[in-house]
């Protein structure tokens, strides 16, 4: 029991509350030790009924609360950088929801701080790396049975976009998942990005360019194309096909129960990423807890967070200018070799 990892959760909104529930009821090996939210009432509500969990308005107070051994950052993106530096100051391991930091410059400062600290503290919340299908695809590519990858065809669809969603966010918030997944699956870095814009759907709010079509080129010569379509109205779908020299593999097709009703056979399409990736979130958190208890840090690194932000920024420029835009990454520190 002494081994239960005490976690401070920063942010008690939608995602934070979901992680609190997971730490408390789903995942073994950890407990919620503290919750911080600028809205103190929300923090208090989040810890109700959880033995030994304190609530706070300030990040620092939560990190200093008794029993805190690790930090889970689920606050809005702009609050991440300061929270990460606070965690580094205390040497606490961190699970940081994506984006690591919204802008590439800030993300690079985090990378540099972690390099100064001297060992990894950060796992970034790219949860697709913990999805059973993505894991299977990664391992198939690594085995090399299909030969060298040449193309990735990706589809990323939502039912509808949340209020305030902008055309840039299709690239820097949504496609950032594909950017990380492509980097991870291929073990390659992006060198250029282009964005095409077909006609927009009538379902999109006024002014939102939706769908868009993003093309990434990697330093290994792989072409990654991504349909991003956030107001489909019909479902949450994430697909990926890796086309290789000796075969192809695809993931993300609907499955589960098949129903035959008059005139058709059908399968359900999930409506929400929390449904589609529920197991990935569980597995991500469990992996983090296990690593923390063993004194290790694994999974997507601060460098991955930075590279994703830098590529997304180039994508937003490509979107604005309508031209192919190079991606210039800083040199990769040895810590992330």
Q: Does 142 bind a second copy (CB under 8 A)?
A: no
C-beta closer to a second copy: residue 79 or 155:
155
Taken in order 251, 189, 114, 64, the sign of the CA dihedral is negative
DSSP state of 263: T
The answer to whether the beta carbons of residues 247 and 141 sit under 8 Å apart is no
Cβ atoms within 10 A of the Cβ of 237, count?
A: 19
Provide the minimum distance between the beta carbon of 99 and a second copy in the complex, in angstroms, as a whole number.
27
Provide the minimum distance between the beta carbon of 144 and a second copy in the complex, in angstroms, as a whole number.
13
**How far does Cα 290 stand from its chain's mean position?**
19
The answer to whether the beta carbons of residues 17 and 53 sit under 8 Å apart is no
Q: Does 189 bind a second copy (CB under 8 A)?
A: no
Q: Does 201 bind a second copy (CB under 8 A)?
A: yes
Stretch that binds a second copy, among 74-82, 108-116, 134-142, 161-169 (CB under 8 A): 134-142
Provide the minimum distance between the beta carbon of 149 and a second copy in the complex, in angstroms, as a whole number.
9
* Binding residue for a second copy, selected from 133, 178, 180, 313, defined by CB under 8 A: 133
Stretch that binds a second copy, among 88-96, 112-120, 245-253, 298-306 (CB under 8 A): 245-253
Taken in order 37, 39, 44, 47, the sign of the CA dihedral is negative
Return the residues of window 257-276 that contact a second copy according to CB under 8 A: 257-269, 271
Return the residues of window 66-125 that contact a second copy according to CB under 8 A: none
**How far does Cα 183 stand from its chain's mean position?**
13
Q: Does 203 bind a second copy (CB under 8 A)?
A: yes
| CA 142/CA 261 separation, integer angstroms | 42
The count of residues interacting with a second copy (CB under 8 A) is: 79
């Amino acid at each position: 029991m002494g081994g239960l990892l005490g976690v401070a959760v920063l942010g008690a909104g939608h995602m934070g509350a979901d992680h609190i529930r997971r730490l408390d009821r789903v995942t073994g090996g950890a407990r919620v030790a503290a919750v911080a939210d600028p809205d103190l009432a929300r923090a208090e509500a989040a810890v109700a009924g959880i033995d030994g969990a304190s609530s706070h308005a300030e990040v620092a107070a939560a990190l200093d609360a008794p029993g805190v051994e690790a930090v889970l950052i689920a606050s809005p993106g702009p609050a991440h950088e300061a929270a990460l530096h606070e965690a580094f100051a205390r040497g606490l391991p961190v699970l940081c929801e994506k984006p690591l930091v919204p802008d590439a410059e800030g993300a690079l400062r985090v990378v540099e701080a972690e390099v100064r600290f001297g060992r990894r503290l950060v796992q970034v919340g790219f949860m697709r790396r913990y999805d059973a299908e993505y894991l299977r695809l990664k391992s198939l590519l690594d085995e090399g049975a299909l030969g060298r990858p040449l193309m990735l065809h990706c589809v990323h669809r939502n039912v509808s976009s949340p209020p305030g969603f902008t055309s840039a966010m299709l690239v820097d918030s949504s496609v950032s998942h594909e950017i990380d997944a492509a980097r991870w699956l291929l073990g390659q870095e992006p060198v250029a990005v282009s964005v095409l814009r077909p006609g927009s759907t009538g379902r999109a709010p006024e002014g939102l360019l939706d769908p868009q079509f993003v093309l990434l080129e990697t330093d290994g010569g792989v072409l990654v194309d991504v349909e991003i379509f956030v107001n489909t109205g019909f479902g949450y779908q994430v697909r990926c096909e890796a086309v290789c020299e000796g075969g192809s593999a695809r993931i993300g097709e609907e499955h589960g129960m098949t129903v035959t009703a008059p005139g058709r056979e059908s399968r359900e399409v999930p409506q929400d990423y929390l449904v589609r990736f529920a197991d990935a979130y569980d597995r991500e958190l469990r992996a983090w807890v296990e690593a923390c208890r063993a004194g290790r840090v694994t999974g997507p690194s601060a460098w991955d967070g930075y590279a994703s932000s830098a590529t997304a920024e180039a994508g937003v420029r490509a979107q604005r200018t309508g031209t192919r835009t190079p991606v210039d990454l800083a040199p990769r520190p040895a810590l992330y070799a």
